[in-house]
Amino acid sequence: MRIITGSPVYGDDFMFREKDVLLACQSLTDGSSLLVKGWRRIGKSSLLTETARLLNEENKNVIAIVVDVQDLVSMSEFLSKVIGALPKDKSQQLYAAMGAAKQIPGKVMNAIQNRIRSIGGSGGGVEANVEFNKNVTDYWEPLKTSFEALAKQSQAKGERIILMIDELPFFLENLYRQSKNVDNIRTVLATLRSWRTAGLSMAIAGSVSIEAFLEDLKIEGLVLNDLIRLDLRPLKRAEAETFTETLAKVGNIEDWNDEATKTLLDQLPDHFPFFIQSAMNFLRVEDNSTTDTINEVFENQIYPQIFASFFQQFDERLDRRFSKEKRKAAVDVLNEMSATHEGCLTVNEIEAICEARSQDPLQIMRRLELAEFIRSDLKKKGYKLAQNLLKTWRTARGGV
């Protein structure tokens, strides 16, 4: 095992989430598809990468590919990324299906053929992506049906292609900002659903609430209702302790002890793997692991990362998901929740807060839940903060 920060981990570097990985592997192999949800830095990319590794290693009839679409801004880039991730033999089959469609421009067909020739026998020609022109929507339908034909051909041979799309919501937001065309979003989502129907299993991951985004654009949620929801949570305390102690050994931190583990984990509002890895990465070059040293590393290194990774994101999410007056009510609800020990309010308490702002409580609760600020708490007959980190955020913003 190694101390790795920022990049997806897999194999010996991947710990815990065994049930999540097992669920993903079995569901995808059986032909189901997943929507993997979770906040940034919680391990979604690592889950996809480890699942793909296991699927490819343990079943010779499975072709699992992972594409990160976070930085893409156009439909042509999206198609190019997916085609570029296919193994060479599947690229050739796709090319044949496109040729049979007889509706795709010759320049595009030549570009695809050049890409296929440029990659090795085992696939992975991302560096030679196809450059589609700006009018890709003109021949989107034959491209879509060609992928469907590829999925069906593979199934007929006893094979299954599994497509893992990391940060799809980010891509959809980028696409909308670029084009301001809701139809493009509908086209991409409808295409992915048609591919799933044709037998191309999928795992879609995202740290931005795709449901809230689609509601903002008034896009029906039916395009996602065939997906199994897999919600990743922070590590449990016992898992975080084991993870921290393992990293201490890997990092050769000789004076690390139970008190050091407790000091570090008590500083974290939630036990996200990334922040534990980051802390241990900094601590392994320190002269000692005393409480003062750990606290100093947290204050100077970890807390700024939490601010950059989350607090600004929360601020932006509030601005995007709520109008000015509704935002005031939403902030009041979050502040009152953060002021309680368990981060929880009853429905009646939330109703009183919203009515004081002359806002519909049901709308505020729904929007907060869609934006993944809160989740229902049946025991308390109300709602609670989705993560403890939100308390830290509201305190930093002066709300508590």
> How many other CB atoms are there within 10 angstroms of residue 198's CB atom?
18
pLDDT value of residue 121: 43
- Nearest-10 Cα torsion for 8, 13, 18, 22: 60
The CATH topology of domain 322-396 is Arc Repressor Mutant, subunit A (1.10.10)
pLDDT value of residue 92: 86
Range in 71-75, 78-82, 124-128, 347-351 with the lowest mean pLDDT: 124-128
Starting from the edge strand earliest in sequence, which strands make up the sheet with 33-37, in order? 62-68, 160-166, 201-206, 33-37, 227-231
> How many other CB atoms are there within 10 angstroms of residue 241's CB atom?
18
Superfamily of structural domain 17-231: P-loop containing nucleotide triphosphate hydrolases (3.40.50.300)
* Global pTM value: 0.86
State the chain's mean pLDDT as an integer: 88
pLDDT value of residue 316: 87
pLDDT value of residue 118: 59
Give phi and psi for 97, each to the nearest 5: -65, -40
Higher pLDDT, 349 or 142: 349
pLDDT one-digit tens code per residue, 124-155: 444 444 556 556 777 888 889 999 999 999 99
Paired tokens of 350: 């939330």
Do 17-231 and 322-396 share a fold?
no
The domain limits of the chain are: 17-231, 237-312, 322-396
